[in-house]
Amino acid sequence: MSKPLEPYDRVSLSAASAIGVSDRYQQIKFRVFDLTLEYLEQQGVQGEAIPRAVLQDEIARAISVVLMSRGIALNLMERAQLIEDVQNEIVGFGPLEPLLNDPEIDDVIVNGPNNIYVERRGELEPVSARFRDTTHLMNVIQRIVSPIGRRVDEGTPYVDGRLPDGSRVNVIIPPVALDGPIVSIRKFKRTPLTGEDLVRGQALTPEMLAFLSDAVRGKRNILICGGTGSGKTTLLNVLSSYIGPKERLVTIEDAAELQLQQSHVVRLETRPASLDGASEVSSRDLLRNVLRMRPDRIILGEVRSSEAIEMLQAMGTGHDGSMATIHANGPRDALERLEMLIGLHGFSADLQAVRRFISGAIDIVVHVQRQTGGIRRIAAICEVTGMEGATYSMREIFAAGEKKEGFQSRRIV
């Protein structure tokens, strides 16, 4: 038999309305939430052990008991919202859950417990959702990183991770973050985008899509470059859909985001070092192992370190049709960045030999840009044709531009 709930102070609707509906609801939610969880525990309700529909009924019953015993009045909409919020706290990610389920939201940014922003259609805007305090926020952070074997604490104050749906998460906490825990979530579409979706969104033209799809089917090695948030991974995911269903694909990522539709896909993910500096598994380690796994194509989420050497060797020695992304401001800049990464990690050869190595491995470079208003578009598609003396020989296949009738591309060759 559960212990009866103690009397509580009455909430006046007129006094509550004076502080505004949003603030009123937030105050009541935080007040009722702990009491509801306590009641559920008294009743032996375990959120992870029962179906979601049954859990919702149990939560609704518990909230009714709590509200009646405390004399708290809520309208039907607020009561339904409270049931959903408590359910999210038990089996979801708390205040973040409705934001993650909103298909119009692309990014969720948490700057401490009281400041949450979202990106819609390329524009950041604040939302009324908030955490109760820093402890509440840290509990949700641990719920995010624990299932994927990551940890975040004072000894390791930052971490990259992912949600079950593939959305990328970055967390950084005090003492490195001075104003409280910071969470950045880049959502991934539950339904993968297609090439036709990108055409409709004017990210590329039909001619660009036809060329790139033919290049993928023709097993050309493709490097996608661009700045942060420019849509590199999205484009990589779309292009991978044109790979044949009978090919064996291996993906390597820091946080698994790619949503490949083929049946024969091996997904690998790096692992950061432990506190003692051991147990790290880098992209380079995985690439070395992948070469023994008989892949038809290798897809590398991002080239950022010594894995550049193994990637280029794989592209140039039998793994045609492989793809990767890299941070760079243009096609030629992408190749120069590869030079830098190779030089920084012990490839002992003169510059011209390094450039021959790169030009022999990369066939096509695609440059994507994030433009004003958050619009992401392909800016250029270039073919790497070899070397002219000590410089790369590159042909610009497509160049993008704006015209009165909309986004256009101009085929150069």
The pLDDT value given to residue 51:
73
Digit-coded pLDDT (tens) for 67-79: 888 777 777 887 7
C-alpha to C-alpha distance for 155 and 142, rounded to whole angstroms: 15
Closest CA to 166 of 242, 287, 254: 254
The pLDDT value given to residue 410:
55
Q: Which domains does the chain have, with CATH numbers?
A: 13-90 (no CATH), 96-186 (3.30.450.370), 195-411 (3.40.50.300)
In the sheet with 406-411, reading across from the earlier edge strand, the strands are: 265-269, 249-253, 297-300, 323-327, 222-226, 364-370, 376-388, 391-403, 406-411
Kindly report which listed range (195-209, 219-233, 273-287) carries the lowest average pLDDT score. 273-287
Is 340 a residue whose pLDDT tops 60?
Answer: yes
Report the sign of the C-alpha dihedral through residues 260, 251, 365, 215, in that order. Answer: negative
Q: Which amino acid is at 11?
A: V
The pLDDT value given to residue 16:
35
Is 315 a residue whose pLDDT tops 80?
Answer: yes
The pLDDT value given to residue 2:
42
Q: Is-contact 70 32, C-beta < 8 A?
A: yes
The model's pTM: 0.75
Q: Is-contact 232 224, C-beta < 8 A?
A: yes
Tell me what the mean pLDDT of segment 41-45 comes to.
72
Query: E strand or H helix at 172, and its extent?
Result: strand 168-172
Digit-coded pLDDT (tens) for 137-148: 999 999 888 887
Q: Which residues contact 242 (CB under 8 A, 6 or more apart)?
A: 195, 212, 213, 216, 217
Band of pLDDT at residue 251, cut at 50, 70 and 90: very high
Query: E strand or H helix at 388, and its extent?
Result: strand 376-388
Kindly report which listed range (22-31, 175-184, 289-298) carries the lowest average pLDDT score. 22-31
State both tokens at 362: 């990369």
Kindly report which listed range (198-207, 335-344, 393-402) carries the lowest average pLDDT score. 393-402
Is 312 a residue whose pLDDT tops 80?
Answer: yes
Tell me what the mean pLDDT of segment 258-273 comes to.
86
State both tokens at 259: 């949503």
Helices and strands in the chain, H and E counts: 13, 15
Whole-number average pLDDT of the chain: 83
Tell me what the mean pLDDT of segment 260-282 comes to.
81
The pLDDT value given to residue 7:
37
